[in-house]
Amino acid sequence: MPKNMQAALVSLWFIIAVSAAQTGSIAVGDSSLPMLSIGSETPVYFVVRTLGDQRYFLRDECGPPRRRQKLISRSPRPVVTSFFATYCEPCKEEIPHLERLSQKWGDSVSFLLVDFREPERVVESFVDSIGTSITILIDRYGKAAERFLVNVIPTLVILDHCGYLALYQRGQADDMDSFFADMDRMLEGLVARSRSDQEQALCPWVKN
């Protein structure tokens, strides 16, 4: 990642991290797993399923395009992903905050809720009860969570349009109002960059 882009992401992350002390989470993996590094390339090469059992490719949203997919056929954008489960109370408390941001940013940011290893019928019932408009994905075998080193839920991940890690939060933030207000400001910067031709050209997979 270009140094100026990485510095900007790290600065934004520091602001958010101040208010993001972990207070609520459910362990779902090895507690010794390391954290992903802010500004690093992320594992966008994975496929999960939608509730309608359609394949979903993260690379359609950000990072390098899929093989044979022309760059002009898509508009890379930031992606906000929350790994959750229907039995996770901290996850449920985060969803209304994510829903508000999703409504605000519309098509400029992709918001995803990735369920961790639950039957589709359970997730469908949960979605009906909460009424969210956010895209729901099923990580049936935990492979997507494994790639993102998820060991607790909720885990919140934000990728920029190039596919670099902008935010990585394990567990529920202590002050969610402050956390999501800071996250909103981060998204403002990420969206502005994703709309800039100059910034688009800095993505390492773009051929000049």
Which range is least confidently modeled, 13-27, 43-57, 122-136?
13-27
Contacts of 132 (CB under 8 A, 6+ apart): 95, 98, 99, 113
- CA-closest candidate to residue 109, choices 117, 100, 119, 118: 100
CATH class of domain segment(s) 3-201: alpha beta
- CA-closest candidate to residue 89, choices 139, 150, 23: 23
What is the DSSP secondary structure assignment for residue 59, as one 8-state letter? G
pLDDT tens-digit series, residues 86-97: 999 999 999 999
pLDDT the model gives residue 171: 94
Domain layout of the chain by residue ranges: 3-201
Residue 78 has pLDDT above 90, yes or no: yes
pLDDT the model gives residue 4: 52
Q: Which residues of 44-81 are buried (b: 16+ CB within 10 A; e: fewer)?
A: beeebeeeeeeebebbebbbbbeeeeeeeeeebbbbbb
Residue 19 has pLDDT above 50, yes or no: no
Distance between CA atoms of residues 64 and 42, nearest Å: 11
